[in-house]
DNA sequence: CATGAATGAGTGTTCATTCAT
DNA sequence: CATGAATGAACACTCATTCAT
């Protein structure tokens, strides 16, 4: 049925855009991978660029929604950051192609679509910023460069999409925990029992 | 003179490949940015792809040579990793366009050129691996996932090329030190006075 | 009901073919202007070209029938030409889109449809030729180039469809009379009291 | 040489646009008729539409220049109109394809190019208007609808491009004179000895 | 050195039309 | 009746590259 075909187009685009880049992917390849003619492709997408924008927005919106839910559910900054890191890592490990597209193909968007995508990304990152800032405020984190640390950690976690393979020996959960661990260290928190011990120290 | 013109071509390519991607850059743009005709362009490059491969190889070879020199000069794993991280961060901050090209455009190379570039990158990363392994061997680092940590740190430092601006308030040296700090924390070493001090602490 | 829809399609086609030309009008535009899907369009027309041919034939047949009636009703060549000119001008002023299509889009028809349309147009023009020839025969007109004059007058009157607007200050009837006037002058007849004076002269 | 090739492209475009319309002509046909590949075509034109605009502007500018020269040279309105009509008719008889393109393809231009072409056409027509108005002012013409007459005459003369063939029995000079004759009659002037005789009649 | 001219192959997209539902 | 889905062919145009001058 229709949804199925639309899904096939989407999956083909995700696969090819991630593998060869947006500009490196022709619509004839896209059509072949989808099992359609190039003309039929245009029943399921506005334009090649619309397709790209859709993929990026969907991916970012899902991530943003999940992060917002985490921030609403977890008050304590330390477990909140832990959850945010794990969410980010899991998403990048499970959807490496989508997330790589988000990270690598923003330059391929025309200004208006780019603004939308960047706004979504900024919203998402502000959930991180807020968590870090709250941790600093409550004395749970000790870092004199919270902004730099936040962006450095984000880049580290983005990298997961570029190298992690579920076929390797490392389980996804171990991967997520490892990154959460590094994040807490980078932010100057003790991994298991942080806020308490640190607030005492001050 | 000739060298000058060749340099202009190289600089134009670096600028455009970084900004719009290899496939997103046409040779007409390249020619315009270089101030040449498209035909003249071909006096200074083999093909568009050769130009890309040259840029990537030069960048990686410079980095590899510097890293090799660091490894030869610094024996102690802790300062060696510190130096490697700083080198990596400085290079990515000073040459963000070249390093972004290295990180993002490997898929645009044909298999044979890709093999060369990947080999260079692997050589470079093995300098890191060796430093981390040596630190673990000597008890300077405590991490049960040295490989994961290494690649996570590399991704974090690569990210510098994507966001750092020398026009911001953060100095390049502070940036480098901050990342070195995080690296040592992630590897389970105390930043300034590492192996010894930490083993005593337990 | 069906007739209504068919009418909407016809009106849409007339509007668009006149405004943008046959080849400049896509069936998607046609469908949108008709308020139908492109597929539904094909219930009300054979093909895009059939639709064009229908429009042209209907317009020409109406004109031919009216002209034939005029010729049958009015014997005297001078008032006959006057009536023919007025008919032509009125038709082009009232149906500027249809008549412009007839005048401009013959090249878009395939040979067989073109033959039909050209035959209709020739039949119509022969009513004019006959009236002019009769006037010359009876001494009502003085022109040594009756054929050229006839075609020049036709072109002049066709032009009405290209510039006349009922929203202007000139009434349709004044317009028709003005053109009839010019026609009689061009044919060498006195506008009001021609045949008599001239027949006396011979 | 280059000019030759550019000329071949121009001539091919004129031929095809006149015969099949702008939208009815593909660039592949254009290339074939020019004896070039479609890619080479783009060395000699900006875009298909630019080519159209160039053709129209060149044609109109030539006509405008000639008409301006006539107006400057001939003061008396009667011979001035005669010369203008003859110029118009000769141009339309000798360059029927170019003039038909000017008359039929304005709708194919994008707004900005259309404005340019329409401005040229208006300039040209204002030379006619001025001549007619001057004749009316000096009492050389008697018409209570000078504007309508002017446009009707223009349309009549435009028509020449649609039907006149130099292979017919009518010479170009006779054709021009015939139309000038009709024009004077339509404007209410005596063909050979106008202003004087008529002013006496009043 | 430098470039105007040239091109085969390819770009993303739209065309008019059909047909199963 | 009406239409969503589908398509082969064509659309205008650009690609990276070559070569004679």
pLDDT tens digits for D137-162? Answer: 999 999 989 999 999 999 999 999 99
Nucleotide nearest to D24 (CA to C1'): F11
Residue C196 has pLDDT above 50, yes or no: no
* Confidence bin at D1 (pLDDT 50/70/90): low
Measured CA to CA, the distance from residue D55 to residue D59 in angstroms comes to 6
Read off the pLDDT of each residue in D126-144 and give the average, rounded to a whole number. Answer: 95
Protein side of the strand E interface (CB < 7 A): A 25-29, 38-39, 41-42, 47-49; B 1-2, 5, 36-40, 42-43; C 25-28, 38-39, 42, 47-49; D 2, 5, 36-40, 42-44
Read off the pLDDT of each residue in C98-114 and give the average, rounded to a whole number. Answer: 96
Contacts 24+ apart (CB under 8 A), C113-120: C113/C49, C113/C50, C113/C53, C116/C53, C116/C57, C117/C53, C117/C56, C117/C57, C117/C60, C120/C57, C120/C60, C120/C61, C120/C64
- Please name the residue whose C-alpha is nearest to the C1' of nucleotide E2: B40
pLDDT at position C126 is 97
pLDDT at position C3 is 66
Sketch out chain C's domains with CATH numbers.
1-45 (1.10.10.60), 48-201 (1.10.357.10)
Does D148 sit within 8 Å of C178, measured CB to CB?
Answer: yes
Residue that wins the pLDDT comparison between C194 and B153: B153
Measured CA to CA, the distance from residue B184 to residue B191 in angstroms comes to 6
pLDDT at position C144 is 87
Does C170 sit within 8 Å of D151, measured CB to CB?
Answer: no
pLDDT at position C201 is 34
Strand F nucleotides within 7 Å of a protein CB = 1-20
Is B73's Cβ below 8 Å from some Cβ in A? no
- Residues of chain C contacting D145 with CB distance shorter than 8 Å: 170, 174, 178
What does the mean pLDDT of chain C come to?
Answer: 92
Nucleotide nearest to A46 (CA to C1'): E13
pLDDT at position B202 is 34
Of D148, D159, D162, the CB nearest to C170: D148
Strand E nucleotides within 7 Å of a protein CB = 1-20
Q: Estimate in Å the CA B186 to C1' F6 gap, whole number.
A: 56
Angle between helix axes D146-163 and C172-187 (nearest 10 degrees) is: 60
Residue that wins the pLDDT comparison between A191 and C160: C160
Q: Are C105 and C48 in contact (CB under 8 A)?
A: no
Condensed to tens digits (0 to 9), the pLDDT of residues A90-142 reads 999 999 999 999 999 999 999 999 999 999 999 999 999 999 999 999 999 99
- Return the number of other C-beta atoms located less than 10 Å from residue C28's C-beta: 11
CB A38 within 7 Å, strand F: yes
What percentage of residues in chain D have a pLDDT greater than 90?
Answer: 90
Burial class (CB in 10 A: 0-12, 13-18, 19+), D146: middle
* Neighbouring chains to A with at least 3 Cβ pairs closer than 8 Å: B
Read off the pLDDT of each residue in B138-152 and give the average, rounded to a whole number. Answer: 94
Structure-token match 């120290």, residue found = A201
Q: Are C164 and C93 in contact (CB under 8 A)?
A: yes
Is B173's Cβ below 8 Å from some Cβ in A? no
Give Dmax (Cα) for chain B: 68
| Token pair recorded at residue B139 | 């008890």
| Token pair recorded at residue A7 | 């899904």
H or E segment and range at residue D75: none
Of D20, D152, D178, the CB nearest to C182: D152
Q: How far is C18 from chain D (nearest CA, A)?
A: 10
Residue D61 has pLDDT above 80, yes or no: yes
Read off the pLDDT of each residue in A165-190 and give the average, rounded to a whole number. Answer: 93
Nucleotide nearest to C39 (CA to C1'): F3
CB B44 within 7 Å, strand F: no
Does C152 sit within 8 Å of D182, measured CB to CB?
Answer: yes
Q: Estimate in Å the CA C38 to C1' F1 gap, whole number.
A: 14
Of A158, A170, A186, the CB nearest to B182: A186
Condensed to tens digits (0 to 9), the pLDDT of residues B61-102 reads 999 999 999 999 999 999 999 999 999 999 999 999 999 999
Measured CA to CA, the distance from residue C69 to residue C72 in angstroms comes to 5
Does A155 sit within 8 Å of B159, measured CB to CB?
Answer: yes
CB A8 within 7 Å, strand F: no
Q: Are D60 and D120 in contact (CB under 8 A)?
A: yes
- Residues of chain A contacting B104 with CB distance shorter than 8 Å: 104
Measured CA to CA, the distance from residue D124 to residue D128 in angstroms comes to 7
């Amino acid at each position: 049925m229709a949804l199925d075909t639309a899904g096939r187009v989407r999956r083909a685009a995700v696969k090819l855009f991630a593998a060869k880049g947006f500009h490196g992917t022709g619509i004839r390849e896209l059509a072949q991978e989808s099992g359609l003619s190039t003309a039929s492709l245009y029943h399921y997408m506005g334009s090649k660029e619309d397709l790209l924008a859709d993929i990026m927005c969907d991916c970012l919106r899902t991530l943003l929604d999940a992060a917002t839910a985490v921030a609403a559910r977890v008050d304590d900054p330390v477990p909140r950051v832990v959850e945010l890191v794990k969410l980010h890592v899991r998403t990048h490990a499970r959807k490496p192609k989508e997330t790589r597209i988000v990270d690598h193909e923003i330059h391929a968007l025309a200004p208006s679509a780019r603004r939308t995508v960047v706004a979504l990304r900024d919203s998402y990152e502000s959930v991180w910023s807020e968590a870090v800032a709250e941790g600093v405020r409550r004395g749970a984190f000790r870092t004199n460069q919270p902004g730099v640390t936040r962006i450095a950690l984000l880049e580290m976690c983005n990298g997961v999409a570029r190298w992690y393979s579920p076929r390797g020996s490392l389980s996804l959960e171990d991967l997520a925990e490892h990154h959460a661990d590094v994040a807490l260290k980078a932010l100057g928190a003790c991994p298991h029992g942080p806020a308490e011990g640190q607030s005492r120290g001050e």
